[in-house]
Homo-oligomer: A and B are copies of this chain.
Amino acid sequence: MNTQHFSTKERILGAAEQLFARHGFAGASLRQVTAAANVNLAAVNYHFGSKENLINEVFRRRLDDLNAQRLAALDAALERPGSSLESLLDAFIRPALELSLDRSGGGAFVRVLARAYAEHNDALRKFLSDNYGHVLKRFHAAFAQLLPDLDKEELYWRLDIVAGALTYAMADFGVIKRKSGVNEQTHRERYAEHLVRFAAAGLRAP
């Protein structure tokens, strides 16, 4: 991996993603990153200006896509007649699961994303809210239409729990290891189905 035909910037972003996932933002040094990317140490500051900006670019590269896919899936679900709770949840969850399955680094990125949630770092939270907040709002509006009897604030509570459980699931936080013999893709897809059913039941709870 990180073969030579990728540009220096791309190799740095890929290596940074891997190492931030494994050791955290403070724990991964630029020397580790540049060594893994097979790139000179000074290249990071030349191409990205600073370590902090490199972190932001690692997020931007994936989040723009993820948000767009989620909104597209939501629109598609809303256009289909008779959209159910399950179809909306699937629109939210599936793009994230697919990202986590994507070859060349998507799996590492979701762990980076989970780290970002764990960080209390205000700048990072603001960055994520700017790129993420309006997506959650659109989903909230769609769910509200399907659950007219549910208090709006209560719905926020429950969507928050769903988003939390999803973050947890995507990052493979679970201590329970997958059955040997079942490959990663099947493992994640079954997890997605379970999560959708679980979340739908939770949202429907009286």
Contacts and interface: CB of A to CB of B under 8 A. Distances in A.
Interface residues of A, number: 51
A55 interface: no
Count identical subunits in the complex. 2
A174 interface: yes
Contacts of A156: 176
Interface in A151-168: 153-154, 156-158, 160-161, 163-165, 167-168
Given A132-B175, A167-B173, A198 B26 contact: no
16 contacts: A24-B119, A26-B27, A115-B118, A117-B118, A117-B173, A129-B175, A156-B176, A157-B190, A163-B174, A164-B164, A164-B174, A167-B168, A198-B205, A200-B205, A201-B202, A201-B205
Given A161-B165, A201-B202, 10 more contacts: A26-B26, A133-B175, A154-B194, A156-B176, A157-B191, A161-B194, A164-B167, A164-B169, A164-B174, A167-B173
